[in-house]
Amino acid sequence: MKTTKKLAVFASGTGSNFIAIQEAIEQGTLDATIALVVSDVPTSAVIEKAKKKGLKTFVFNPQSYSDKEAFETEIVEALSEAKVDWVILAGYMRLVGPTLLSAYEGKIVNIHPSLLPSFKGLDAIGQAFDAGVKITGVTIHFVDEGMDTGRIIAQEAVTVKNSSTRVALQKDIQAVEHRLYPETINYLLQQ
């Protein structure tokens, strides 16, 4: 029997990938539902967007907790209450700790705006631009305890045009992200 899987999307910022995933669900190209949107930034635009879509949110302020284990314990409770099957990181600007990793082993994925293992960490688009590479891209990978180190699931190259600016490159990369992430999640859910 086919069952529609439940996703939690974790994000700290704008939420354009969250919107791309939600729109793919609405358009029927991604068979899933977003059961929870999680953010560590109470004022983030992604939370506004999630509320507009009528989705359930879990917002927390890391500074109100003694450590990562304390807030991840609450996150895992919220995920389990919402019966979440997969955790989708989309601009969640934190390393995932052992509490969440062990609760969702093999079920946490991330999107990174470079061709890993190049340009790990913050501002991957700026790093690639400054390095003067002619090709960069997008990587979707499983999440482990490292920063952008988990097993790669999908990659797509993006050419850096000679006339490109940092802003234009970001736009080109995001256009790929918004198509590749929903497609890849759909593929993963069907395995």
Instruction: Work out whether 182 is an interface residue with ligand GRF (CB under 6 A).
Output: no
Is 94 among the annotated ligand-binding positions?
A: yes
* Partners of residue 111 on adjacent β-strands: 140
Would you call 178 a catalytic residue per the annotation? Answer: no
Nearest-approach distance from CB 177 to ligand GRF, in angstroms: 6
Measured CA to CA, the distance from residue 109 to residue 119 in angstroms comes to 18
Binding marks (x or -) toward ligand GRF, 96..135, rule CB under 6 A? ---------------xxx----------------------
Nearest-approach distance from CB 12 to ligand GRF, in angstroms: 7
Which residues, 55 to 94, sit near ligand GRF by CB under 6 A? Answer: 90-91
Measured CA to CA, the distance from residue 180 to residue 27 in angstroms comes to 15
Q: Which stretch binds ligand GRF (CB under 6 A): 1-9, 13-21, 31-39, 54-62?
A: 13-21
* Choice between 84 and 111, CB closer to ligand GRF: 111
Measured CA to CA, the distance from residue 126 to residue 167 in angstroms comes to 9
Is 80 among the annotated ligand-binding positions?
A: no
**Residue 157: exposed, middle, or buried by beta-carbon count in 10 A (0-12, 13-18, 19+)?**
exposed
Instruction: Work out whether 9 is an interface residue with ligand GRF (CB under 6 A).
Output: no
Cα end-to-end span (Å), the chain: 14
Is 56 among the annotated ligand-binding positions?
A: no
Q: How crowded is residue 7: how many other Cβ atoms within 10 Å of its Cβ?
A: 24
Which residues, 161 to 180, sit near ligand GRF by CB under 6 A? Answer: 177
3-state secondary structure of 79: helix
Nearest-approach distance from CB 84 to ligand GRF, in angstroms: 19
Q: Concatenated DSSP letters for 141-191?
A: EE--SSSS-SPEEEEEEEE--TT--HHHHHHHHHHHHHHHHHHHHHHHHT-
Is 44 among the annotated ligand-binding positions?
A: no
Annotated catalytic residue within 8, 30, 47, 112 = 112
Binding site for ligand GRF (CB under 6 A): 11, 13-17, 90-91, 111-113, 177
Catalytic residue set: 112
